[in-house]
Amino acid sequence: MDIDGKYYRAFKERLEKLDAQSSKEKIRKQHAKGKLTARERLDILLDEGSFEEIDAFVVPDTEGIEFGKVEKNYGDGVITGHGKINNRLVFIYAQDFTVMGGSLGIVHARKIVKTQEMALKMGAPIIALIDSGGARIQEGIASLSGYASIFHNIIRSSGIIPQIAVIMGPAAGGAVYSPALMDFVFMTSYTSYMFVTGPNVVKEVLNEDVSFEELGGAEIHAKKSGVANFIYDDEENTILGLKKFFSYIPSNNVENPPRIEEENKTPGENKKLLEIVPDDPNKAYDVKEVILNIVDKNSFYEASELFAPNIITAFARLDGKTIGIIANQPKVLAGVLDINSSVKGARFIRFCDNYNIPLLTFEDVPGFLPGIDQEHSGIIRHGAKLLYAYSEASVPKITVILRKSYGGAYIVMNSKNLGGDFNYAWPTAEIAVMGPEGAVAILYRKELAETEDPKKLKAKLVKKYRDRIANPFVADEKGFIDEVIDPATTRTKLITAFEALANKWVEVPSRKHGNIPL
């Protein structure tokens, strides 16, 4: 080809024009907000030289625009394409706030839809780097129809390919339903926001003054709403967290998660596990100490850490293989189940089941949180979500009862008759319809009222109840658990059990879908 010919010159001129769109002034403004540009984010996230851009030179549709103006920029405010993370294919779209505020018009939407459809066909994860002012007002209903197509594709791909949203700036109005429909949401403190209606609308309608951060900042969504699963202090660490997350998951629903060999082997027998759970059933402890002494070193990666901390949901590895962990946390609300923890646990379980990630449950739960607020807010319906998720999950499921396992909460937390494959208990376990104190108070109400020393009698009856009914050996002998195990050998026991379950196959009745109590 003649490099001085007019066609090649035109080719080079287009590339130069595309590059010139990212002016130094626009980049400076983005950096001044503590934000990276869309291309800088891609450079950090993807393996060097692996990104292949698609539709870089499309331009926005300006036909029929009567109000305002639309800039005739290449790419229409979103960068789309595919690349690799640790040599694994991913599809990606990154909204560019320096072009019309990253607003979504119909061409912008078509680029995203095309990327979604390619990801689904290739069986590859899709990542959305969201930094957008929302629907492009100038285009009216066309931009709204674009959002609808994006949402429809997310739902079509759900459970087939992992879909991850990374909020890198604003996500407002209808735009928030993209991350809400996806599998996990990453946010950055102080520079990313999500809300259906912004502070100005809140002020106008409700006459309430609220800042962007107070209304929909990362900390609000990580602690209160539960919308954000991971938050980091800056964009670079957010992206690095995303790369770490990808090391735990497969590329689609027919693959298994990648195996990563453990560098420093965790001991198969660990005496530290004998010292963590207190002898006094009313004393709290940190269940993370139990987990960290069982899983592969440096493999614990918690999701939704700040939301509903009375239950832990996390990824980890056992002998190099990814597992999903659900654990009651006795140091927060004594580990009780409530509305938020039930929904959090159910959502995590369903993700793991979608993507062939075995489930490991550490149980220490005194029951469901009582009270008018919980009952009136629907603890029955929300608690049933956790029950449904455990029962429906067909991946290998193992439970270790560390201490308390009472009543309905015993059933919900992957009990044997709910479909648990292997159910173990430590000698410290207490398995019963209710706690010894409550049971004695009901069963011996009359005797306690008539005795001269009710405190002494109650203590005697509580001990008797704990020894004869709540004792884990009773459950073991009746076959409701598979074995009471030595806590020190828990890791070895679990590795062996998961190996035995490696080829587990569950045939389910033909149906369109079940009706989870949403």
Q: In this structure, are 376 and 444 located in the same domain?
A: no
pLDDT band at residue 1 under the 50/70/90 scheme = low
Q: To the nearest whole percent, how much of the chain has pLDDT over 70?
A: 97
Q: In this structure, are 95 and 162 located in the same domain?
A: yes
Give the structural domain span for 70: 35-246
pLDDT value of residue 316: 97
Position 475 in a domain: yes
Q: Three-class SS string for 175-224?
A: HHHHHHHCCEEEEECCCCEEECCCHHHHHHHHCCCCCHHHHHEHHHHHHH
Q: Supply the DSSP symbol for 265.
A: P
| Look-up of token digits 């931009």 | 143
In which element (H, E) is residue 246 found?
helix 235-246
Render pLDDT for 26-74 as a digit per residue (tens, 0 to 9).
889 999 999 999 999 999 999 999 999 999 888 887 665 555 566 678 8
Position 404 in a domain: yes
Q: In this structure, are 212 and 155 located in the same domain?
A: yes
Euclidean distance between CA atoms 357 and 392, whole angstroms: 14
Beta strand 126-130 with 163-167 is parallel
Q: To the nearest whole percent, how much of the chain has pLDDT over 90?
A: 68
Cβ proximity of 131 and 166 under 8 Å: no
Position 516 in a domain: no
Render pLDDT for 215-224 as a digit per residue (tens, 0 to 9).
999 999 999 9
pLDDT value of residue 276: 97
Residue 335 is encoded by which pair of tokens?
Answer: 């580990």
Euclidean distance between CA atoms 352 and 355, whole angstroms: 5
pLDDT value of residue 339: 97
Q: In this structure, are 148 and 112 located in the same domain?
A: yes
- DSSP labels, 390-411: HHH--S-EEEEEEEEEEHHHHH
**Which active-site residues does the annotation give?**
173-174, 408-409
Question: Within 10 A of 17 (CB to CB), how many other CB atoms are there?
Answer: 12
Does residue 16 surpass a pLDDT of 80?
no
Position 252 in a domain: no
Does residue 516 surpass a pLDDT of 90?
yes
Residues 6+ apart with CB under 8 A from 462: 436, 437, 440
Mean pLDDT (whole number) for 416-437: 91
Euclidean distance between CA atoms 438 and 489, whole angstroms: 33
Does residue 8 surpass a pLDDT of 80?
no
Render pLDDT for 151-200 as a digit per residue (tens, 0 to 9).
999 999 999 999 999 999 999 887 899 999 999 999 999 999 999 888 88
Position 440 in a domain: yes
Does residue 347 surpass a pLDDT of 90?
yes
pLDDT value of residue 361: 98
Q: In this structure, are 177 and 45 located in the same domain?
A: yes
Q: In this structure, are 423 and 441 located in the same domain?
A: no
Angle between helix 436-443 and 454-468 (nearest 10): 120
End position of a domain, from candidates 229, 246, 263: 246
Does residue 85 surpass a pLDDT of 70?
yes
Q: In this structure, are 94 and 112 located in the same domain?
A: yes
Position 343 in a domain: yes
Q: In this structure, are 209 and 236 located in the same domain?
A: yes
Q: In this structure, are 449 and 381 located in the same domain?
A: no
Q: In this structure, are 42 and 155 located in the same domain?
A: yes
| Look-up of token digits 């700036």 | 169
| Total count of domains within the chain | 3
CATH number where 228 lies:
3.90.226.10
Position 424 in a domain: yes
Q: In this structure, are 445 and 301 located in the same domain?
A: no
Buried residues in 48-67 as b, exposed as e (16+ CB within 10 A) = eebbebbbeebebbeeebee
Average pLDDT, the chain: 91
Q: In this structure, are 352 and 459 located in the same domain?
A: no
In which element (H, E) is residue 103 found?
none
Position 174 in a domain: yes
